[in-house]
Structure 1
Amino acid sequence: MSTNRPDRLTDRNYSLQSADEFHLALTEEQQTELERILFEDARTEHEWERGVICVITRSSGQNRVSFLVHDILDPADGDINYGGSVQFDADYRYEAVARAREVGDAAGLLYIHTHPNLTGDETAFPNPSVGDLNTAEKDLFEDANRLGDEAPLGIAIVKDTSRQWRVIGYEFDTPDTADDVGKAAYSPSSARTFDADCVRVVGKSLREYPTSKKTDGAAGAAAAISPDTQDSTIELWGEDGQRQLNSLRVGLVGAGGGGSILAEHLARMGIGELVVIDFDRVEPANLNRAQGASRADADARRPKVDIAERLAQLGGTAPGFSVDVYEASVVEARPQYGAIDRLLDCDVVIHAAEGEWPTRVLDEMAHAHLVPVISGGSHLHNTGGVLDENAYAQATIAGPGQPCQNCARHWRETAANDEMNNPDATGPGDYGLDEGAEGADETTGEDREPSTNSVNLIVAGMVTLRLQDYVLGVAGGQRGIRRFMPGTWSMEEGISSCKPGCPMKSLLADGDTHQLTLSNDPKYAKIRRDLNGGDEQ
C-alpha cells in the first residue's frame, strides 16, 4: 500500500555508516580523462602505478550515498611519486583541499591510483597494499581535519582499465578540543572504511561496473536472471544484458495514463526494483486511460501509486523483483510529503508526470546528482477532433551528455515559479481549457490535457525502448529528443545537445552542494485538503 515519508528522513543521510548502499558516479567525459591520465603511454611496471586526485561531492539518498566526481586535478611532474606505494605530493594535496573548499561543504577528495596486473588474471579486482592503506589513513585524516568530518573522502584502485575498481570510503572523528589531539579515537587509525557496491558512468549511455565487493541486485551492477520468464528478452540482448537490466533500480514519477502503463511494462522488461511516486487519486475521468484501474478504484479515489504497485507486482519477471511506492511529491521540500531523496537511490528515473516545476527539479537532479532522467509525454493539438501536424508523442533523456530539458523548452523559469505558488497553474501540455468547458473534469473543475490511451501506449513504448537503448545500446545509442507525429505518422528528431553557455551544465556533479528548487507543493496540499475536509493533514 502507499506510504509517506518515514519520520527518520527529516534529516538527510550524510553517513556511509548508516547508508545501505555506497556508489561512485562519474561522467563519460571524466572516465575518458581518467584513462588518459592513468593509462596513456605507460611502459614500465611502476609507470602503471599512477595516481590522480579528484574533488568529489556527496549525493545523499534515502538508502544510498554516492560519491560524485566533480573535478579531476590533472597532476604535473612531481605531483605523484612512487616509493613502495603511490605518494601524493603535499603541494598537490593542498591544491586539492583548496578546490574542495571552493566547491562547498559537501565536497571532499578521492585519491585514485592504478595497480598493474601482475597475476595475469583478467577477472581479478585490484586491492591496495598495506603501504597504500597506511598512506591513505594518514593523508585522508589530515584532509578530514582541514575539510571537516562530513567531507566525503576515499581512495580508489583501478587495474589496467577504468572498468575494474575497488573504491573505499573513509570516515573519521577529528579532534574538537586540544584534549582530543593524540587520542586513539581521534587519529588516523580510527578510520571507519566502507567498500563501494558499484561504479556508475553516466553520459551518452549508462554503464555500471561491479567493484571488488561484487554486490548483487539493485545495489550493485549485476543481478540474477530468470530463463523461464525472460527467455525472449535474453534471446534479444543476451544473458549479460538481462543481468544489467535486472540490476536497475528505476524511479517512476507519475502513475497516470502513461505511468500506469510503464509500471507494468518496466516490471515485465525485467528491472530489479521500481520506485513509484505520485500524490494523485484515481477519478472517473481517468478510466479511459488509467491502466489497471477499475470503477471501484475511481469510486474509492484510490491512490494512483496503489494501482501502479498492483500492476508491477503482477508483471515483474526479475528474480526478487520489488516495487516501492510513495504517495508523495518530487517537488515537496517537507520530508513527510516529499520523495526526492528516494529518487537519489535510483540508477535512472522515468518522468511521466505533468508540470514545468517537476520537470525543472528532475532536470536539476539529473545534472547535479548524475541520475539520468528519461521523460515521456504527448501534446495532442487538434482541430475539430482531427490531430494536426503539430500533435506529438515523444521521449527524451536529460543528464550528462544529453540536452537538458530547459534547452529543449520543456520548462521555463517563469512557469515553474508560477506552479510553486499556484495550485491551479498549468504545466506543459495543459491547454488552459476554461473551467466548465468541454474537456474539463466535471468532478474537480480542473483543466485536463486531451489524452488517449493509444498515444499513451506509444509514449510508454518509446520510453521503454529508450531505456533499453540507454543501458544496452540496442537501438544505436540515440541522443536528445525523439518525437512521433501521429497526425502525419512521421518521426522527428529534436535537439541533441544543449545551447552554448547552458547554465544547467554548471550543476554537473554538484551533489548535495546544490539546493534543488523544492518548496511546499500547493497541488498536493490542495488534494490533502479535499480528502480531509479542508484539513491539509
Structure 2
Amino acid sequence: MTEDINVSLSNHLIRDDEQEDLCFAFYKASTGNQRITALINEVIFPEIDDRNIHGNVSFNPDYFDKATSYALKNEYGIVFIHSHPFPGWQRMSTDDIEAETMLAPRVKAITGLPVVGMTIGSDGTWSARFWEKTASKTYDIKWCETVRVVGNGLNIHYNENLKPKPKFGQEFSRTISSWGPSKQESISRMKVGIVGMGSVGSIIAEALLRTGIENLVFIDFDTIERKNLDRLLAASEKDIGKFKVDFQKNRLFDVNLRKGLDIEALPYSITEKTGLEAALDCDLLFSCVDMPLPRFTLDGIAYSNFIPVIDGGIDTNPNSDLSNIEQARWKAHTVGPQRICMQCLGQYTPSDVSLEQSGELDNPYYIKGLPKDHFVNRGENVFGFSLSLAGMEIQQFLSMVLQPKGIYYGPKEMDFNFGNIDFDFENSCEKDCHIKAQLGQGDSFNKILLFDHPNAEKSRNKIQEPTMPKVKKANPKTSSGKDSIIKKAIRKLKNLFDDSKGTFPF
C-alpha cells in the first residue's frame, strides 16, 4: 500500500480506547514469477451503523454489501482489515478465523479473487494472509511473507516465520554499528533487482552485497565485449563473450561474504515476460539502463505495482577538438508512489519509446540523420563517472530504507565541471500524468509493458545455452516489413496514452 493509505488506515484502526476496529479495502493483483501481491488501491471506511464495537468488533451485513458492490463494479479484490491492541506481527484469534472463514467463499464467489485478511498491531505493524480455495468448500490460509508500505520511504513488515531475522558475523560489525541491528535485519531481507549490469549496475551489485542484501536479481541480456573492459567492474579479457549477469553472479559468490546469498541471473530484457515477472518479485529495483523503452517499462512497474525504482543516467560530451571534456553530469532519482515519474522528470519521451520499439534505433542510416543532441548521440561514460552515479543511487536507496531524521531525497544532479549538486527538481507528477494514472493497477496494466526484444533473443541465441527457457515471441502477422512493425508499436503505445487521457506527441 502507499504511505497515504497506510496513514488513513492507521488513524482509523488504532484507537485511543484500545478497542478493536475494522474496515474493508480493495485490491488489484500483481503476479510475478514467484510472488503474488495484493495492491491496496482504495478503502471504504464504516459509517456509525456499519459495525459494532464492544472490545472486539463486528460488521453488519449492509457494510459488507456495500463493499462487495463496489468491488464488483470496479473489478477489485476485497481486503478485510481489523486491529489488535498488541504490538508486532499478529496471529489470528478464534473470532478472527471464524470471520475470515465466513468471508472467504462469499468474496470468491462475487469477485473471483481470494479475500485478503490483514491485521494491524498497536505499534502499526501489519500482518496479512490470502484465503485460497484448495478444494470444494475448503479455504486455507496462505500467510504473506511481507507487507510493504511505499511512498517517500519504504517500510517492510516481515512475517518472521517465513522471513526470519538473519544472523551476521564480525564482517558486518562496522555496517551494523552505523544504523543498528533492527535496520540491518530489515535491509538484508529485501529482494532487490538490478536492471542493466553494465558499469553502473555492476558497482551497485557490489555495494548491495557489502550492505548485507541476501536476495538479488540481475536482469540484462548483454554479453561482455572488449569495449566494456575499461568500465565493467572486475571484468577482464578472459570474460569476453560471457553474459554480464552470469559473470557478476559468479564473481559475487566468490566473495563468500553471505552464506545465505541468493542471486537470480536472467539474460533477458525487462520488456520480456521472463524479465518483467522477475522484477515483480522484487521489493525495489535499480534502473541502470540508458534506453527509453526499458525506462518506460520500469516507470510503469514502479507505479502500477508499488515497487520503487531508483534510476540514474550520465551525459558527457568532449569539446570540438577532442582535447578535453566539454561537459559531464549525472543524475539519480527514485520514482514510485508519491514521487515523480521518469517521464515527468524528462528521462524519456513517448515518441522515443515508440522509436526504439520500431527498431529504427538499430538502423545506422536512421541514426545518422538524428540531431546531435538526440539521446542516441550522447557521449559515453567512463568508470569514474559510473562510480559516482552508482554512489548517488546507493544514497537514494539508503535514504529510502533508513529514513534518517524523516528527510527524503528527491532527484539530484551532479555537474562535474563546476562541482555542484543540484537538488532543485520537482518531485511530483503533472496532474494529467498517464503513468501516475496507472497507480496500483497491477496485472491489468503489466501486459501493456511487454514487448518482443529481437536484440535480447539474438544475444541468447549467440550464447546457445541449451537449458535456457524459451521466450514466447509475438507473431506480428505482417508481410509489409518494418513499416508494419513501426505502425504496430505506435498503435500500441498510442492506445495506452489515449486510454490514460494523456498526450502522445506525434
TM-score category by the smaller chain? 0.7 to 0.9
The aligned residue for residue 60 of structure 2 is 89
1:408 aligns with 2:355: no
The aligned residue for residue 186 of structure 1 is 136
Residues 21-40 of structure 1: CA deviation (Å, up to 9, x unaligned): xxxxx111111000121125
Q: Which amino acid aligns with 1:482?
A: K
Relative to 1, partners in 2 of residues 1:270 and 1:531: Cα closer, same or farther, differing over 3 Å?
Answer: closer
CA distance in 2, matches of 1:425, 1:492: 34
The aligned residue for residue 181 of structure 1 is none
Secondary structure, counterpart of 2:148 in structure 1 = strand
CA distance in 1, matches of 2:57, 2:293: 47
Relative to 1, partners in 2 of residues 1:127 and 1:474: Cα closer, same or farther, differing over 3 Å?
Answer: closer
TM-score (norm 1): 0.79
Range with bigger deviation, 154-163 or 198-207: 154-163
1:444-455 alignment, distance < 5 Å: 449-455=379-385
- Alpha-carbon distance, 1:126 to partner: 3.2
Relative to 1, partners in 2 of residues 1:501 and 1:313: Cα closer, same or farther, differing over 3 Å?
Answer: same
Secondary structure, counterpart of 1:339 in structure 2 = helix
The aligned residue for residue 254 of structure 2 is 314
- Alpha-carbon distance, 1:388 to partner: 3.8
Relative to 1, partners in 2 of residues 1:84 and 1:480: Cα closer, same or farther, differing over 3 Å?
Answer: closer
The aligned residue for residue 305 of structure 1 is 245
- Partner residue of 1:109 out of 78, 99, 123: 78
- Alpha-carbon distance, 1:434 to partner: 4.2
1:421 aligns with 2:392: no
The aligned residue for residue 401 of structure 2 is 471
Q: Which amino acid aligns with 2:293?
A: W
The aligned residue for residue 176 of structure 2 is 234
1:245 aligns with 2:187: yes
Contact kept? 1:249, 1:346, Cα under 8 Å: yes
Contact kept? 2:28, 2:440, Cα under 8 Å: yes
The aligned residue for residue 418 of structure 2 is 488
The aligned residue for residue 499 of structure 1 is 430
CA distance in 2, matches of 1:192, 1:133: 10
The aligned residue for residue 364 of structure 1 is 300
The aligned residue for residue 140 of structure 1 is 104
Gap runs ≥5 in structure 1: 1-25, 174-184, 436-445
- Partner residue of 1:260 out of 199, 202, 205: 202
- Alpha-carbon distance, 1:510 to partner: 1.4
Relative to 1, partners in 2 of residues 1:243 and 1:210: Cα closer, same or farther, differing over 3 Å?
Answer: same
1:39 aligns with 2:14: yes
- Alpha-carbon distance, 1:473 to partner: 2.3
- Alpha-carbon distance, 1:410 to partner: 1.0
Contact kept? 2:146, 2:158, Cα under 8 Å: yes
1:1-400 alignment, distance < 5 Å: 26-39=1-14, 42-43=16-17, 45=18, 48-82=19-53, 86-104=57-75, 107-117=76-86, 122=87, 125-148=89-112, 151-163=113-125, 165-172=126-133, 185-187=135-137, 190-211=138-159, 213-216=160-163, 222-226=165-169, 228-298=170-240, 301-315=241-255, 317-333=257-273, 338-384=274-320, 385=322, 386-388=324-326, 391-400=328-337
CA distance in 1, matches of 2:163, 2:262: 14
CA RMSD of aligned residues (A): 2.7
The aligned residue for residue 508 of structure 1 is 439
- Alpha-carbon distance, 1:273 to partner: 1.3
Q: Which amino acid aligns with 1:352?
A: C
Residues 118-138 of structure 1: CA deviation (Å, up to 9, x unaligned): xxxx55x43333233222212
Q: Which amino acid aligns with 2:105?
A: F
Contact kept? 1:269, 1:317, Cα under 8 Å: no
Q: Which amino acid aligns with 2:154?
A: L
What is the percent sequence identity of the aligned residues?
Answer: 25
CA distance in 2, matches of 1:242, 1:304: 28
Contact kept? 1:387, 1:486, Cα under 8 Å: no
TM-score (norm 2): 0.84
Contact kept? 2:269, 2:456, Cα under 8 Å: yes
Contact kept? 1:67, 1:152, Cα under 8 Å: no
Relative to 1, partners in 2 of residues 1:84 and 1:246: Cα closer, same or farther, differing over 3 Å?
Answer: closer
Q: Which amino acid aligns with 1:223?
A: P
Q: Which amino acid aligns with 2:144?
A: A
Q: Which amino acid aligns with 1:109?
A: I
CA distance in 1, matches of 2:395, 2:427: 17
1:520 aligns with 2:481: no
Q: Which amino acid aligns with 1:502?
A: C
Contact kept? 1:38, 1:113, Cα under 8 Å: yes
CA distance in 2, matches of 1:479, 1:489: 19
Gap runs ≥5 in structure 2: 370-375, 465-469, 472-506
The count of residues paired between Structure 1 and Structure 2 equals 456
